[in-house]
Structure 1
Amino acid sequence: MRANKETTIAIPADPNDPEDFDVTEAALERGLMGRRVRKLRNRLGMTQKEFANVFGIPANSIRQYEIGRYMPPPAVRAYLKVIEAEPEMVRRVMAG
């Protein structure tokens, strides 16, 4: 039986730091995905709003993904991979 990613601790809180907290596997995955989205956007030299306008992903969603609050749904994750691989081709398709 597989443990639940929302409850399985990936990084335990530091017991000597009262402000620290446990990080679950799911939170770690969201954080890593957020970093990936932010790095892609920065590589393209775009603000969140520019990235949203060019690639058709709501700016609020970009913000939420980047801070790790939400994991993009599978279709958006696939689309982000296409943008990573061929940003200019996607830009042309979206502009046309």
Structure 2
Amino acid sequence: MLVNKETTIAIPADPNDPEDFDVSVAGLERAHIGRRFRILRHRLGLDQAQFSAAYGIPLANLRQYELARHMPPPAVRAYLTVIEAEPEMVRKVMAQAAGVPA
């Protein structure tokens, strides 16, 4: 049986809080990825624009990922894992690819 992650509720809304809402399994996954981006950026001391420029992820996309509005495609999720493991190496490679001295 295939489960629809967008309609499966991971965290139900608090019925006593009119501003609360259900969180789907897919929403929880998007939030987790967004948090990974934010934690990494903070660890590296970069704001969104700096991270975007250093690692070649479009700023608008990065913002959407961090707000959990969109799930990054599998290649971007894999790239995030590489950046988490070797941020300086990736930054140097990206700078060299752009023709900027490292």
TM-score range, shorter chain: over 0.9
In structure 2, distance between residues paired with 1:78 and 1:52: 16
Q: Deviations over 1:45-78 (max 9, x none)?
A: 0010000001000011111100100111000000
Match of 2:49 in 1: 49
Amino acid across the alignment from 2:29: E
What TM-score does the superposition give when structure 2 sets the normalisation length?
A: 0.92
Give unpaired runs (5+ residues) of structure 2: 97-102
Q: Which runs of 4+ in 1 moved over 4 A?
A: none
Q: Deviations over 1:8-42 (max 9, x none)?
A: 00000111111111100000100111011100011
What TM-score does the superposition give when structure 1 sets the normalisation length?
A: 0.97
Aligned pairs, number: 96
| Percent of matched pairs sharing the same residue | 70
In structure 1, distance between residues paired with 2:41 and 2:84: 9
Give unpaired runs (5+ residues) of structure 1: none
After TM superposition, give the deviation of residue 3 of structure 1 in Å.
1.4
